[in-house]
Amino acid sequence: MTQEAVKEASFYERLSHRGVSRRDFLKFCGSTAAVLGMSSAMVPTIATKIAGAAESGLTPALWIHGGACTGCSESIAQATYPNVADIVLDILSLQAQETVQMATGEYVEQAQEACYEANKGAYIMIFEGAVMTGLDGNTLRVAGQPLTEHLKKICAGAAAVVAVGSCAVDGGWTRAYPNPAGGMGIGEWMAQEGIGTPCVNLPGCPVNPEEIVAVVVQALICGDLTQVVASLDEFGRPKYLYGSTIHDNCPRRGHFENGEFVYTFGSPEEGKAWCLYPLGCKGPQTYRRCPMIRWNNSVSWCVDSGGPCIGCANWNWVDNNAPFRGRVRQVGKGVIGGPGGVSPVTAASVVGGVVAVALVAHGFGMKAAGRIGKNPTMKTETMKEYDRKRLKKEAK
């Protein structure tokens, strides 16, 4: 189809040209309703909203990259029917995506600039990767100047920022110790710069495309992003995506309750797909809906494929969750993620041990002082030390 023909075709015709049937689309709407915590009665509404938005005025959007591995872009490229490009691009008029447009060089910059000028205050900025603040922002230079300079303008002109992936939310692995590039999240950076643009955080490494779709669909159902922003939790995350832990919804939860655990990899218990809790699974402390949304067209996810959750949606997750196969990180060091420190168990055991030894030693002291026995030779003082000293002072 020519570009003109694509524009004139109905939404469903366009989907069908991309190999997506109406049934597939409705199935997708069903899974989106589930992600949003809605009943299947909402499926027609979701379908109508998406189709309506795709056929009416498109919301301009920019996809900006910070310090990133582009894994979030890759994650989105893995989505299948109808792929997120179909949904998001048909609803959002994505005018720049640096990974996809890598070869086009300065034209991307021009597209960004044009979008900014034409849609100031109305476009959505999707941000992937960390803001690199090290060396006055020179640890990441784009088009001849630090990324931070671009961001000051683009963030301030956006209707809202959607931070996709942990790097964009809090710096992610880019910020892990020793963080020489000064990686930090876009929300934190905007607050520091005094930019008040609302920010939706979608932590995870990488972001799940269905999480982005859920936010877009929520915005369509609500009418605009304002209500989406108003419904976020205290960390800027949609509650329906980050309101329950991996552990709450884990398919292996039954094994946890039964006390059926995998203690070593390669054991028969691992073959039985028992609970990975003793292997350092971070599921009980990680808020995300991976067990329900899953990955790669809902084929599988970390625990289903045999790996303990490493808590990639947690704050500063690399430092906080390492070692990924250990129960807890070391504590008591000056810099989080840095060398040194002791495990909380060792710290507590040592203090407890010292107290036990001290009590035994004290017991010997009490024995030596003749204070132990059926009728210990002890004498109670006749007057408080305080009173004795006070009287002595007054007498002077």
Partner 1 sequence: MAHKPVREGHPIVFVITHWINLLAMLFLTLSGFYIHYPVVGGWMGWARGTHFFWMFILLICLAFRIIASFFVKTTNMPGTREQDRDIKNWLPQAANRHQMWPTIKYYLFFKKDYPISAKYASLQKIAYLATIPLTLLAAYTGFCLWGPTSQWAFFRVGTNLWASWFNFGGGGALMPMRVLHYWIMWVILIFTAVHAYLANIYNFAPSKMIFAWIEDPDALDSH
What are residue 141's DSSP bridge partners?
146
Residue 139 and residue 182 in contact, taking contact as beta carbons nearer than 8 Å: yes
Please state the closest distance from residue 343 (CB atom) to partner 1, in A.
10
Please state the closest distance from residue 346 (CB atom) to partner 1, in A.
12
Please state the closest distance from residue 18 (CB atom) to partner 1, in A.
37
Residues 6+ apart with CB under 8 A from 44: none
> For partner 1, which is the closer residue by CB, 223 or 352?
352
> For partner 1, which is the closer residue by CB, 11 or 189?
189
Residue 125 and residue 94 in contact, taking contact as beta carbons nearer than 8 Å: no
The angle formed by the CA atoms of residues 153, 158 and 164, to the nearest 5 degrees, is: 100
> For partner 1, which is the closer residue by CB, 60 or 238?
238
Collapsing DSSP states into helix, strand and coil, what is residue 61? strand
Collapsing DSSP states into helix, strand and coil, what is residue 326? coil
> For partner 1, which is the closer residue by CB, 157 or 283?
283
- Nearest alpha carbon to residue 112 among 154, 168, 67, 161: 154
- What Å distances lie between residue 64 and 29, 51, 164, 261, 366, CA to CA? 27, 26, 10, 43, 72
> For partner 1, which is the closer residue by CB, 103 or 383?
383
The two beta strands, 59-65 and 123-128, are: parallel
Residue 15 and residue 82 in contact, taking contact as beta carbons nearer than 8 Å: yes
Please state the closest distance from residue 374 (CB atom) to partner 1, in A.
6
What are residue 319's DSSP bridge partners?
none
> For partner 1, which is the closer residue by CB, 19 or 338?
338
> For partner 1, which is the closer residue by CB, 153 or 333?
333
DSSP H or E stretch at residue 51: helix 43-55
Residues that bind partner 1 (CB under 8 A): 170, 203, 233-235, 237, 243, 245, 248, 256-261, 269, 277-278, 282, 284-285, 287, 313-316, 320, 327-329, 331, 336, 344-345, 347-348, 351-352, 355-356, 359, 362-363, 365-366, 369, 371-376, 378-387
Please state the closest distance from residue 108 (CB atom) to partner 1, in A.
32
Question: Hey, what's the torsion of the CAs at 204, 205, 208, 212, to 10 degrees?
Answer: 60
Please state the closest distance from residue 146 (CB atom) to partner 1, in A.
25
Residue 140 and residue 67 in contact, taking contact as beta carbons nearer than 8 Å: yes
> How many residues does this entry show for the chain?
396
d(CA 226, CA 122): 12
> For partner 1, which is the closer residue by CB, 7 or 379?
379
Please state the closest distance from residue 293 (CB atom) to partner 1, in A.
18
Please state the closest distance from residue 309 (CB atom) to partner 1, in A.
12
Please state the closest distance from residue 277 (CB atom) to partner 1, in A.
7
Secondary structure letter of residue 184 according to DSSP: E
> For partner 1, which is the closer residue by CB, 138 or 320?
320
CA-CA-CA-CA torsion sign (325, 330, 333, 336):
positive
